[in-house]
Amino acid sequence: MNLERDRGRGPRVAREFSVLRRLREAVGAGPGGPGATGAQAGRPALAVQGVSAGYGKREVLRGVSLEVLQGEIVAVIGPNGAGKSTLLKVVAGLLPASQGHVFLCGDDVTSLPAHRRAHAGIGYMIQGGAVFPSLTPDDHLRLASLVARRRGIGGTGQPLVPFSATFPSRHGPAGLLSGGQRQALAVASILASNPAVLLCDEPSAGLAPGVARELMEQIALLSRERALSVLWVEQRVGDVLPLADRAVLLRDGRPAAETSSPREWLGDGVLAELTFGGATRG
């Protein structure tokens, strides 16, 4: 029911907003991007409506709808192959949606290519936090601030993040950093691009548990400081749920359950029941 109504509404909303956007561009008023200046608290910073997507003939997402409010951290969990990473790829623009729409602060970004979505305010941390191996940490932050500058906010060229102080050398190639340092650099450079919405795909993958927890806490802390909206895909369920405002369980390419008190899912057997039992609305 819900889904169908959303699907019907998508194109019309999109049209209205693209007209508005064009108008704003023509007038040239105000900072170009939404995000830090645009969205109001309580309004969805990111809305995914009825999105289906897949690789070739294999459909992975089957009509996913979810919203992330301004300043909210939403954890996406679920078994392997449920489509968690695919969902982020579709939102980031790396994989086209075969159906449905993605809205960023009310603007339909479904047809924008990945780099334009980054300009519009989507920051995407690739699984395990990729960096450019031959660029220095300074180079990373500089590239990120180019994006921020393009959006008309931040872009002072100053490292915005405390992490950079901990790198052994800010002028050596990032490929020589340790795993934890590289992932921290990935977070730092995304935050330096000053996004409105942060997509995290298992930012701590491959790290030792202690280091991983620290990195995750840092991400949550920094996001809250900046009132960022975060869509966070994570395998380390026990670590991510306490950090999140809301959690969504993805199963077989659909949201199977949702909760606004994620800690409750940490109770004995709750998740197992949700994941493997009948479809329940949490």
Partner 1 sequence: MLIQLLANGLVNGCLYALVAIGFALIYNTTKIFHVAHGAIYTVGAYICYFFMVEKGWPLAVAVGIAVGCSGLLGALVEAWIYAPLARRGAPLLVSLLSSLGLYVALVNVIAMFFGNQTRVLWPGVQRTYSIVGVTLTRPQFWQVAAAAIIVPGLVLFLKFTNWGRIIRAVRDNPTLAMVMGINQESVRLWVFVVGSAVTALASILVALDVGVDPNVGMPMLLTAAVALIVGGVGTFEGPVVGGFILGVLQGLVVWEISARWMDAVTFGVLIVFLLFRPWGLAGRRRRIEETLE
- Nearest distance from residue 132's CB to partner 1, in Å? 4
Applying CB under 8 A, which of residues 64, 68, 77, 92 lies at the interface with partner 1? 92
- Nearest distance from residue 28's CB to partner 1, in Å? 21
Applying CB under 8 A, which of residues 59, 139, 214, 245 lies at the interface with partner 1? 139
105 or 144: whose CB is closer to partner 1?
144
Applying CB under 8 A, which of residues 11, 175, 209, 238 lies at the interface with partner 1? 175
Applying CB under 8 A, which of residues 3, 112, 135, 153 lies at the interface with partner 1? 135
Judged by CB under 8 A, which stretch of 7-15, 45-53, 64-72, 89-97 contacts partner 1?
89-97
Q: What secondary structure does DSSP assign to 173-195, as a single string?
A: -GGGS-HHHHHHHHHHHHHHT--
Token look-up 């519009």 returns 120
- Nearest distance from residue 42's CB to partner 1, in Å? 28
Any idea how long the chain is?
A: 282
Interaction of residue 134 with partner 1, rule CB under 8 A: yes
Judged by CB under 8 A, which stretch of 11-19, 128-136, 248-256, 260-268 contacts partner 1?
128-136
**C-alpha of 193 from chain center:** 13
Interaction of residue 147 with partner 1, rule CB under 8 A: yes
Interaction of residue 119 with partner 1, rule CB under 8 A: yes
Interaction of residue 124 with partner 1, rule CB under 8 A: yes
Token look-up 């949550």 returns 220
- Nearest distance from residue 115's CB to partner 1, in Å? 5
Q: What secondary structure does DSSP assign to 20-76, as a single string?
A: HHHHHHHHT-S-S--TTTTPPTTSEEEEEEEEEEEETTEEEEEEEEEEEETT-EEEE
CA 255, 260, 263, 265 torsion-angle sign: negative
Give 267's Cβ-side CA count (13 Å radius): 7
The pair of structure tokens assigned to 219 is: 């991400």
The amino acid at 230: V
- Nearest distance from residue 64's CB to partner 1, in Å? 20
Beta bridge partners of 247: 75, 259
How many Cβ atoms are within 10 Å of 205's Cβ, its own excluded? 15
Applying CB under 8 A, which of residues 131, 160, 198, 231 lies at the interface with partner 1? 131
Residues forming the site for partner 1 (CB under 8 A): 92-94, 113-115, 118-119, 122-124, 126, 130-135, 139, 142-144, 146-147, 150, 175, 179, 189-190, 193
